Amino acid sequence: AQSVTQLDSQVPVFEEAPVELRCNYSSSVSVYLFWYVQYPNQGLQLLLKYLSGSTLVKGINGFEAEFNKSQTSFHLRKPSVHISDTAEYFCAVSSNTGNQFYFGTGTSLTVIP
């Protein structure tokens, strides 16, 4: 089975500053990795995904993430955040041995004007 750890439950950051949201996973098989964003009272929206190939993955809204197999990490980054980026962010892992997704507990990003 796989699991995901998001160590930072809350991350406050000033507008236009860079941000990194951390995600570490554990798995005994090859993984697929995803980041989702959840705005208040809405469902989860896919930000980006890593399936294979280039370890740097670019997503929507200027976000990117880097898959690091040796560190078992998939940290999410944005060079300059906007107020509209305030939301809950979830990292998820799955594998080619099954359909199930495992989600982290989420990181609440608050952008301060």
Partner 1 sequence: GAGVSQSPRYKVTKRGQDVALRCDPISGHVSLYWYRQALGQGPEFLTYFNYEAQQDKSGLPNDRFSAERPEGSISTLTIQRTEQRDSAMYRCASSLGGGNQPQHFGDGTRLSIL
Residue from 110, 109, 62, 66 nearest 89 by CA: 109
Q: Which of residues 66-105 bind partner 1 (CB under 8 A)?
A: 90, 92, 94-105
Whole-number Å distance between alpha carbons of 16 and 67: 24
Q: What mask of x and - would describe binding to partner 1 in positions 17 to 36, judged by CB under 8 A?
A: ---------------x-x-x
- Cβ atoms of 65 and 22 closer than 8 Å: no
CB of 10 to partner 1, least distance (A): 10
Q: Residue 43: how many CB atoms within 10 A of its CB?
A: 7
- Cβ atoms of 86 and 15 closer than 8 Å: no
CB of 107 to partner 1, least distance (A): 10
CB of 23 to partner 1, least distance (A): 11
* Interface ranges with partner 1 (CB under 8 A): 4, 6, 9, 32, 34, 36, 41-46, 49, 51, 90, 92, 94-106
